[in-house]
Chains A and B, each alone.
Chain A
Amino acid sequence: MSRIRTVYVLSTVFLLFPLLAAHGEAQTEKSVRIGLITEQTGVAAPSGERGIRATKLAEKQLNAAGGVNGSRIQVITYDNNSATQGTVNAVNKAIEDKVIALSGPGRSTHVQAVSPIIKENAIPALIAGTAVQLTRQGNPWLFRVRPDDSINGTAMAEFMAKDLKLTRIGILHDADAFGTGGADVVAEALKKYSQAPVRRERYTAGTKDYTAQLLNIKNAGAEGVVLYTTNAEDAAIVFRQIKELGINWKIVGCPAALSQVVVDLVKDASEGAYGAVDYFAEASPQARVFREGYFKEYNQEPDFQSAYPYDSLMLLADVMRRAGTTTDRNKTRDTILATRGYKGAMGTFNFTSNGDGIHDAHLIQMKGGKPRFIRTISVGQK
């Protein structure tokens, strides 16, 4: 019996370990706590790790410059297991730990799940979920630090129809809220050019073989395809299998489809592909400074998965400085909304009353394993 008990005790300790670890780092005096809600484990852990690295970098830089209003910035990371329930738990824990603001969640599905909790607890959350409706549901505490899908999707459709002059376009997308929402926008925006997608195919995250979907799109006669993928591993396999099946498409990927993780994995297969991206290292001096700092620290190229969490923390620090508070959430909220012309790594932040900060999409093409800038498409800034 005792042996079994030992196994149980050990497994319990093992399972609780992440919680203990998060608690352990929580107590320091005179610090501003900011909760980072992200993916440390689970299927989206690769992109989560980039965000954590960037946030740690921002924390380090801010504290090296003396913190904000005399307090140190202290980021506490809460793992959401890449899952909706995990996100609910993570946000609840962050609120228990009395963080002043949240950086994240980063995904639409997760934001949707915790939106009521955020509203009830009146805590500013810098979200990165790109589903359009997130900031249109009367929750005054959500602030978006990425262009929403209507922006990327509309820009992608415009680029395919106007610049690439394609008339037969297929769509392959993740079946989650991000992929489905994005594909809907592309389909809607194509109507402006009197087009409809010739075929739409979906897959669930973690799929290892896309032959069926790709052949269905190919047999519908597509000349180009929109990839609205959520996870890097999935996008990488899709790119590789398009090449393996000998299909010669013009590919336009959503921001996640051509993230650095994907390009590192499939340099050859992503060659020539186009993408709409939120962040581009050559786009502005701020983006360049961020890129240099990140590269120096981690010897890895940053991508948007690192840029928006970095901007979130930097923006929050700037907001608290301007608001002259590190405790007043209402004041923090009003000051975020009043932000105009704040230059971050992602671009220039101009908050609308909905809480949308960024309104541009940058179009790029992969050449020799490197993204080359084509043009910026600005969409419907109100």
Chain B
Amino acid sequence: MFDVTTFAQLFVTGLAMGSIYALVALSFALLYKAVGILNFAVGEFVMVPGFISVVLLTTLKVPFLWAYLVTLGLMVFFGAVFQRTVYHPLRGRPFVTVLVSTIGASLFLRNTSLLTFGADPRVSPGLFTAKTVSFFGVFVPPQYLLIIATLIVLVVFQYLLFEKTLLGKKMQATAQDRDMARLLGIPVDTIILITFIYASLLGGISGILLAPVFYVTADMGFMIALKAFASSIAGGLGSIPGAIVGGLFIGVVELFCAAYISATYKDVFAFVILIAVLLLRPQGFFGEKIAEKA
């Protein structure tokens, strides 16, 4: 029953789904690494820009470039507001307090979107008119290719930012030891704010890219956030390469498991992988030992 076209089709689709998980996991990992919070509202970081871009594109009929720029601009604002309201008042409180606060924010955003935009799913026009491009019998929607390409660009950008710029070094220093960073004259609060904005922008990019593929609903972020969470843990919590490899790994493996073992338990496989990783390599593929983080 094995055939190469099917295998290739599954691999490419898995890679695209994995890239989505990876993009969201990147936002998740970044906030964990730099600020030390688990952001359970990360799904809403995708849903909110999804709605913004749909409204701009379909209701207000703004051209693509402007719609995307305005969406990202609003996400800068969103990240800042999120930092001021959800994180800042509770900074220095126990880890769990902030975690609960992000869960609250997630519920708030989901229900507000439901009230504002209603329950009907929205569809966003994509950049591409072609439905699929095909190579040797493998069909790929161009949007999937864009998602994969965007992931690659962002990975390079993030590497350059963290390793080659002063801002990136400051962000890393803040992540490693906030008190020490403050003593060295790094404006820690500002750096944290920038980190939130960057995480929010990553969500914004994911939301824009996902809107034409997944349909925008108030609950669209939920499953993506769970998978991103699993990716992030599998890759090593707080590890940037871990989030990316974890995301791609889960995207591809869950699809192969679904095709060759059982499609019914597709979602289960992602979490079976997660449990297996936690048992065999608790620190994830790339992570530090979790015990050290506690």
Contacts and interface: CB of A to CB of B under 8 A. Distances in A.
Contacts of A3: 89-90
A207 interface: yes
A323 interface: no
A211 B13 contact: yes
B267 A204 contact: yes
B43 to A, nearest CB: 12
Contacts of B120: 46, 49, 261, 264
A364 B90 CA distance: 57
A182 to B, nearest CB: 16
Contact of A244 (B114, B131, B217): B131
B106 to A, nearest CB: 12
Interface residues of B, dominant DSSP = helix
B223 A206 contact: yes
B23 to A, nearest CB: 14
Interface residues of A, number: 41
Interface stretch (B30-38, B70-78, B256-264): B256-264
A35 to B, nearest CB: 20
A208 B266 contact: no
Contacts of A328: none
Given A3-B89, A14-B108, A206-B223, A232 B121 contact: yes
B121 A246 contact: no
Contacts of B131: 243-244, 268
A236 B119 contact: no
Given A7-B101, A41-B114, A209 B17 contact: yes
Given A3-B89, A175-B264, A219-B1, A265 B123 contact: yes
Contact of B118 (A49, A207, A208): A49
Contact of B258 (A40, A42, A213, A237): A213
Interface residues of B, number: 45
Nearest to A232: B121
Interface in B139-156: 139, 141
Contact of B141 (A201, A202, A244): A244
Given A209-B17, A236-B121, A265-B121, A46 B217 contact: yes
Contacts, number: 107
Contacts of B104: 7, 11, 14
Interface in B1-49: 1, 3, 6, 9-10, 13-14, 17
Interface in A35-75: 40-43, 45-46, 48-49
Interface residues of A, dominant DSSP = helix
Given A11-B104, A233-B215, A265-B215, A216 B119 contact: no
B266 to A, nearest CB: 7
Q: Please indicate which of the listed interface residues B89, B123, B139, B215 has the most CB atoms of chain A within 10 Å of its own CB.
A: B215
Contacts of B114: 41, 45
Interface in A186-215: 201-204, 206-209, 211-213, 215
A245 interface: yes
B158 interface: no
A16 interface: no
A249 to B, nearest CB: 14
A236 B120 CA distance: 12
B214 interface: yes
A20 interface: no
B97 interface: yes
A216 B47 CA distance: 31
B219 A43 contact: yes
A46 B232 CA distance: 31
Contacts of A175: 264
B259 A208 contact: no
B165 interface: no
B255 interface: yes
A201 B263 CA distance: 7
Contacts of A40: 119
A45 B119 contact: yes
A45 B90 CA distance: 33
Interface string B202-246: 000000000001110111001110000000000000000000000
B118 to A, nearest CB: 6
A212 B139 contact: no
A335 B62 CA distance: 56
A151 B223 CA distance: 34
B264 A212 contact: no
A216 B17 contact: no
A369 to B, nearest CB: 14
A305 B282 CA distance: 47
A175 B108 CA distance: 30
Contacts of A203: 263-264, 266
B134 interface: yes
B176 interface: no
A244 B143 CA distance: 11
Interface of B: 1, 3, 6, 9-10, 13-14, 17, 89-90, 93, 97, 101, 104, 107-108, 111, 114, 118-121, 123, 131-132, 134, 139, 141, 213-215, 217-219, 222-224, 255-256, 258-259, 263-264, 266-267
**Shortest 4 CB-CB distances between A and B: which pairs?**
A45-B119, A212-B258, A212-B259, A49-B119
